[in-house]
Amino acid sequence: MTRKSSSVTIRDVARHAAVSVATVSRFINRTAPVSQEVAERIQQVMLDLNYKPHVAARQLATRRTLTVGLVIHNMHTDFFAPLLSGIEAVVSENQYNLLVATYDYKTHHHRPLPIGPHNTDGLLSYADCLNEEQLTDLCRVKFPVVLIHRTAPPQLRVPFVTVENKAATYKLISHLIETHGRRSIIFLRGPHEQEDSRWREQGYRDALEEHGISFNPDLMLCGEFNRHGAYTALKKFLARRHPPFDAIFSGDDDAAIGVYKALREAGLRIPEDVSVVGFDDARLSTFLNPPLTTVRAPTQLVGQTAASILFDLLQERTVETCTLLSTEIVLRRSCGCTYENPGEPFQDVVR
């Protein structure tokens, strides 16, 4: 077969340098010593010919792609940028490539994974993008995976990185109760598949119980962890016969935006009539009016950590299976707290 090959190959380099391809390969990969003289000749020829090793050929021969992947639900959320930023930093530091794709087994269920052993050496998977079966399959072929914002199925032992949800929520709700005297606190939960939501619910329930407040299922709504879902859920709640309430834990910061809107439309003031608190400390939370009291989650660090663990896995180092990054409460105005300088949104009170 005669194919036109515009590109210069290792063979060309070998010929011009008057050595064998094996020697050139050894020089390139530093996989065996090469005489000083030959090394210089090869180096020069590579420059002259502007030789670039062919990635695919290399992959075929070595069975390594030097690429890792990230699978995530969607990229609309404010969450995504800091997460990806943390991941990318580690990936490029390791001279690897990063493939990203949106995927959700619930909506893409019949489509194969866009990222996997066929095109990467390892995978970062956010929350519940992959189901247990898919994870099991990947584990079976010993494909390195690190989970983000979810724990691993117990039988699998795949490492995961997530943030402390329960204790922070407990503190947040306790603050509402103890400092601001709130006792009827709505919880806008996220999707039930998402672990964060379940942990936050647990923290919420624990705080209530600890303070002798009985859990009222009528105060639990589904906010879907986004502004539109939260708005809709709260609107409906307000429109029907509902129990009285004096605070809202919106589930996350994006949902808080919808909460603000619904409350305003109902003529309720924040925080005078209703305290509002969120979770994440997204970039915009400081700028909401009033500034949002929330929990600061180290999202960029989550990305960094997960990626680092993935590279440990790739180098077959032992890794921590469970990484729980700590969170802290950020008190702003929306819970009822006051600033010394109310005009200054950058000045947070962190606990």
Partner DNA sequence: TTGTACGCGTTATCAC
Partner DNA sequence: GTGATAACGCGTACAA
Contact positions vs its own copies (CB under 8 A): 52-57, 59-60, 65, 67, 74-78, 80-82, 84-85, 88, 92, 97-102, 114-115, 117-119, 257, 261, 264-265, 283-284, 287-289, 343-346
Among residues 122, 137, 124, which one has the least CA distance to residue 64? Answer: 122
Contact, 325 vs 168, CB < 8 A?
Answer: no
Of 23-31, 98-106, 199-207, 290-298: span binding DNA (CB under 7 A): 23-31
In this chain, which of 16, 23, 173, 221 binds DNA, going by CB under 7 A? 23
Residue 18 binding partner per list its own copies, DNA, none, with a CB distance cut-off of 5 to 8 Å that depends on partner kind: DNA
∠ Cα 129 326 146 (to 5°): 30
Which single residue is written with the structure tokens 């969607």? 74
Residue 154 binding partner per list its own copies, DNA, none, with a CB distance cut-off of 5 to 8 Å that depends on partner kind: none
Among residues 301, 289, 292, which one has the least CA distance to residue 327? Answer: 301
SS3 182: coil
Cα distance between residue 302 and residue 338, in whole Å? 31
Would you put residue 348 in left (φ > 0), alpha (ψ -120 to 50) or beta? beta
Q: Does 26 bind DNA (CB under 7 A)?
A: yes
Q: Residue 171 carries which side chain, given as an amino acid letter?
A: K
Pairing between strand 122-126 and 247-249?
unpaired
User: What is the nearest approach in angstroms of DNA to the Cβ of residue 231?
Assistant: 48
Tell me the Cα Rg of the chain.
Answer: 26
Residues, the chain: 351
Residue 257 binding partner per list DNA, its own copies, none, with a CB distance cut-off of 5 to 8 Å that depends on partner kind: its own copies
Q: How many residues bind DNA (CB under 7 A)?
A: 34
Closest to DNA by CB, 28 or 213: 28
Contacts of 35 (CB under 8 A, 6+ apart): none
How many Cβ atoms from other residues are within 10 Å of residue 284's Cβ? 13
Q: Does 10 bind DNA (CB under 7 A)?
A: yes
Of 22-30, 130-138, 243-251, 256-264: span binding DNA (CB under 7 A): 22-30
Contact, 268 vs 244, CB < 8 A?
Answer: no
User: What is the nearest approach in angstroms of its own copies to the Cβ of residue 89?
Assistant: 8
Q: Does 7 bind DNA (CB under 7 A)?
A: yes
Residue 322 binding partner per list its own copies, DNA, none, with a CB distance cut-off of 5 to 8 Å that depends on partner kind: none
Residues 36-65 that bind DNA (CB under 7 A): 37-38, 51-54, 57-58, 60-62
Closest to its own copies by CB, 93 or 132: 93
Which single residue is written with the structure tokens 């939260």? 230
Q: Does 351 bind DNA (CB under 7 A)?
A: no
Q: Does 241 bind DNA (CB under 7 A)?
A: no
Binding site for DNA (CB under 7 A): 1-3, 5, 7, 9-11, 18-23, 25-26, 28-29, 31-35, 37-38, 51-54, 57-58, 60-62
